[in-house]
Amino acid sequence: MNRFHVVARRAVCLTLFLFPGTLSMASDSLLVTNVRFRASGEHVTIAYDLMAHEETRSSSGTGLFGGTPSSAYKITLVLLRDQDSLFRYYPRAVTGDVGDGIAAGRDREIRWLVSREFPRGLEGDDFYFMVLAEPMMGSSTNARWLWIGIGTAVLGGTVAAILLSGGGNPPANQPTFPEPPGRP
């Protein structure tokens, strides 16, 4: 079985908050903050804090990250790349606090089995994650109102490269393609 090497530079963690400001229900808006990850073996664990603004203003004592029974969000994980602004990958082999019905709270965790989707690993050292959160409002017409809290952790500008062991050389038992013929 292939071993994956993870290259991660730990430096200043920059978290960006992007909030589409044209929507007006500020009491329901949310933030995804403190996005961070750690890679070990064939897994990457992404952690984040999900906070709804209504919780910060609550006088009932739920606190900053307490959540309420009605706070449910759809969480989506996106893998992006610094060097390629068109690169956008939605990991599928994920478990944990991702998908529908996730409550607001601190230290939410998503676990991604990278080897299931990228058996040969990922080349490069400029990958980063974005966590998208959308409030779930049932079947009401308000379901079309969308707030996206984007927490983007950029560790030292570039992180989360998962490399296949062997330094990029193809395994000895796999054939390589010959060079194409030259032009006349």
The pLDDT value given to residue 125: 84
Question: 65 is in which domain, residue-wise?
Answer: 4-164
Q: How confident is the model at residue 184 (pLDDT cuts 50, 70, 90)?
A: confident
The number of domains in the chain is 1
Length of the chain in residues, anyone?
Answer: 184
The pLDDT value given to residue 181: 85
What is the CATH number for 9? 2.60.40.2060
Question: Does the pTM of the predicted model rise above 0.75?
Answer: no
The pLDDT value given to residue 167: 52
Lowest mean pLDDT among 7-11, 43-47, 139-143, 179-183: 7-11
Residue 180: how many other CB atoms lie within 10 Å: 6
pLDDT digits (tens, 9 = 90+) for 14-68: 233 333 332 333 334 457 899 998 988 889 999 999 987 555 444 444 444 444 5
pLDDT digits (tens, 9 = 90+) for 83-112: 999 999 999 999 999 999 998 899 999 999
Residue 90 inside a domain? The answer is yes
Nearest 5°: the CA angle 157, 41, 116 is: 95
3-state secondary structure of 182: coil
- Is residue 74 over pLDDT 60? yes
Residue 12 inside a domain? The answer is yes
Assess contact for 49 and 103: CB atoms under 8 A: no
Residue 181 inside a domain? The answer is no
Residue 50 inside a domain? The answer is yes
Q: How confident is the model at residue 135 (pLDDT cuts 50, 70, 90)?
A: confident
Residue 65 inside a domain? The answer is yes
Average pLDDT value for the chain: 68
- Is residue 73 over pLDDT 70? yes
The pLDDT value given to residue 36: 92
- Is residue 72 over pLDDT 80? yes
Residue 118 inside a domain? The answer is yes
Residue 172 inside a domain? The answer is no
Section 66-77 average pLDDT? 71
| Contact residues for 5 (Cβ-Cβ < 8 A; gap 6+) | 121, 162, 163, 164, 165
